[in-house]
């Protein structure tokens, strides 16, 4: 009888732990929810410096990671992506944000020149030229807009 009770408890605990999943984030102003892994805050320049030091290691370290990037300015908005261009000492860098259609209502509230914070999964690091490196993020959630 003790073995049966222990077995039932093991099953109950297994199901109770499996019910715990990823985090839910409120996205945009329309309260659409998606589950994504927690995002680590990072400065895009850290990714570019890592890439400059060792492309293979940087791609292995950063591609597929979920990051939060704060206070970047919007330079272009389309129905498929939001584009960020940031001036730096050596020129500029670009960030392409490919967002889910559930974010479209929020995207309609931002304009060129707005400062935003977003979370997304890094899918590509591109160095077409040393003065215009580009990051591509997918599964983007817009966290906030600053005036």
How many Cβ atoms from other residues are within 10 Å of residue 105's Cβ?
13
Q: Burial, 25: exposed, middle or buried (Cβ in 10 Å; 0-12, 13-18, 19+)?
A: middle
Is pTM, for the whole model, over 0.95? no
Give the distance, in angstroms, between the CA of residue 21 and the centroid of all CA atoms in the same chain.
18
Confidence of residue 13 (pLDDT cuts 50, 70, 90): low
3-state DSSP: the chain helix, strand, coil percent, rounded to 5?
30, 45, 25
pLDDT at residue 91 tops 50: yes
Q: What is the pLDDT of residue 88?
A: 78
103 Cβ contact list (under 8 Å, min separation 6): 27, 28, 32, 140, 141, 142
């Amino acid at each position: 009888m003790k073995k049966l009770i222990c077995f039932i408890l093991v099953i109950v605990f297994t199901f109770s732990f499996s019910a715990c999943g990823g985090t839910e984030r409120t996205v945009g102003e329309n309260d659409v929810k998606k589950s994504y892994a927690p995002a680590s805050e990072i400065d895009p320049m850290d990714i570019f410096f890592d890439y400059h030091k060792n492309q293979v290691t940087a791609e292995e370290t950063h591609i597929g990671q979920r990051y939060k990037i704060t206070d970047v300015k919007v330079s272009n908005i389309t129905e498929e992506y939001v584009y960020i261009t940031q001036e730096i000492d050596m020129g500029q860098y670009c960030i392409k944000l490919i967002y889910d259609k559930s974010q479209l209502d929020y995207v309609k509230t931002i304009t060129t020149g707005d400062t935003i914070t977003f979370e997304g999964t890094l899918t590509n690091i591109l160095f077409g030229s040393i003065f215009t490196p580009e990051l591509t993020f997918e599964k983007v959630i817009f966290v906030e807009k600053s005036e």
